[in-house]
Amino acid sequence: MDAEALDVWAASPVDAASMYGLGIHFWHMLSDADHLVSLPVTPLVYQDAEFRFEGALDARRANVLAEFGELVNRVPTHPLWRPPATVHLWDVYGEVLGADLARSALTADERARYDGALAYLYDSDPATGTPVPSPELRAYRATRQAWLDADTEYHRAESAAALSSDQAVRDQWTRVDEPRLRQARDDAMDAWQTVGHKAEVDDALRESSELAAKSPSGVWKRHRDTFNPNIPGQFSTAPNGLRYAPTYYSPAAALDTPWTAVTMNRELFLTLAPGAPKEFGAALGSRASDDSFASLSFEYRVVSVLRPWLDPPMELFGSRAWRFSSGVRELSDGGAVPQGRCPSYVESIALARKVHLTREAHQYTAFGSGENNFSPMTTCEWDTGRLHVTMDIADHRWEWGGSGGTLVPGHPRTGLAALGLVDYDSLDGHALDVLPYAHSPIAGGQLSDGAVFAVRTPRRKLVKVQVVSHGPTLSIRFQEYEMTSSAAWTSDTEEDDVFIAGLVCRRLPKCPDPDGTLEW
């Protein structure tokens, strides 16, 4: 971590491990084919009372609104949030508004259909005459967001249950949580379809999107009439002098609606961490992922970023009816990790609060060791290569399938870790304690002569095992460790803190990507 980051961490109430845990949680939950999650290197935190943008704003909330708008309109960097504060989405938007457009080619019938779709989706603001979302489109977006929230929570809980080794947790998911969350998701879909006019709005959006490619001048005019960043007077200015284009989060009442509570135990932490970008841990320092992490609990809410002045963004960025002048660099190359001057933009943010971290330090004492040879207890099947041998390690029965078989734990909450050809003698209880354990069998191919594996029992007993030889007879040596002492300490954020814990960024396709079949 650099010196600037260290200063911020020292002044912040949130632990580096908390930020890391939040980061890997949101990375796994919100990354997909169309979205990248960017993790703030230093905490982005507001007070609940000032992070509210509805109604008349006092000077402090007006300044926070401007700061929020400036922040989420920076061109993102991935996987860490370190964008320069010099280029913003409104700058890129201004470039696109000035791009070369294909000629309009709508027939009279297509023009009528296009105008009808726009009339359904947008009204004219009586004060300014600019287009604003119709009541139907606003209801569509609100109920769609509610369905996305319900769907996200369903899949989060499903994933947490699948990753848990606790049979009670999996049973709770199957018998209670899955039916309840599925019903909540179904209810949200019903509301989207009825209150949110889903079919009608979808048809209008599809019609306008398909026909817009034949009438780019009309699309561009509507956007210019709404907000033209090339005209300085259209920006707002905060009491602190910051110039910005007003940007909000939706739903506006998100701070007052129920948030989802999450607890990440050490097992889940060790399961998720290897799949997250290595840059997360490198940026946050060794304390972010050291072996003292025990559990992290927090509440979270994912909210959309609302830009009345760019609505909807992909209507422009996804269009193939425009191009830059020769020599102007592209915004995005459309790659899996897109590159360019603006390869993505912030589409939503993950908020977190009530972050509670528990750290623990354990001491382990060696108490039992030995060497054993195990012979077949059942008929050998040499043609299939299966050989079942029962053995007892750390009070639990195991099955050994030699000659390419598997080592199967005899208890669903017992963990295994295949370590390969490592130094058996150097492993102590502390080293075994910090390993990521899985609950699936170890294939015989991973257990060649000299290979080491580790065992963690439901009683937190740890065992290191080395295969001396395997085949018709399994020979091992082992050392058991038992936890003899434990110390715990906690870290809590302030009750009113609201963190922007992840910025969910929409990838841009290749942009611009002019359609060669259009007239230019």
**What residues have CB less than 8 Å from 32, skipping those under 6 apart?**
none
pLDDT of residue 438: 77
SS3 53: coil
pLDDT for 342 equals 97
Q: Helix or strand or coil: residue 266?
A: helix
The number of CA neighbours under 13 Å toward the Cβ of 14 is 31
**Confidence at residue 198, expressed as pLDDT on a 0 to 100 scale:** 97
Dig out the tokens for 386 from the structure: 């299966």
Burial of 192 (0-12, 13-18, 19+ CB in 10 A): buried
User: Could you give the dihedral angle defined by the CA atoms of residues 96, 98, 102 and 108, in that order, rounded to the nearest 10 degrees?
Assistant: 100
pLDDT in tens, 425-450: 999 998 898 887 877 777 767 778 89
pLDDT at position 35 is 94
CB-facing half-sphere around the CA of 129: CA atoms within 13 A:
2
Q: Positive or negative CA dihedral for 92, 80, 164, 492?
A: negative
The pLDDT assigned to 359 comes to 92
Q: How far is CA 52 from CA 10, 169, 234, 316, in A?
A: 27, 36, 23, 29
Residue boundaries of the structural domains of the chain: 1-100+244-362+491-520, 106-214, 376-472
CA distances from 279 to 10, 70, 82, 122, 155 (A): 21, 25, 12, 43, 26
99, 100, 103, 104 alpha-carbon torsion, rounded to 10° = 0
String of DSSP letters for 352-398: EEEEEEEEEEEEEEEEEEEEEEE--SS--BTTTTB-EEEEEETTEEE
What is the predicted pLDDT for the residue at 471?
66
| 404-418 residues labelled b (16+ CB within 10 A) or e (exposed) | ebbbebeeebbbbbb
Give the Å distances, CA to CA, from 172 to 156, 176, 459: 14, 5, 22
Q: Residue ranges of the chain with pLDDT lower than 50?
A: 1-12, 376-397, 401-404
Report pLDDT for 172.
Answer: 92
| DSSP string for 483-509 | EEEEEEEEEE--TTEEEEEEEEEEEP-
Residue type at 247 in one-letter notation: T
Q: Specify the residue for token string 């049979």.
A: 167
Asked whether the beta carbons of 466 and 451 are under 8 A apart, the reply is yes
CA–CA–CA angle 4, 6, 10 (5° rounding):
120
Determine contact, residues 318/312, Cβ cutoff 8 Å: no
Q: Give residue for tokens 């990375």.
A: 27
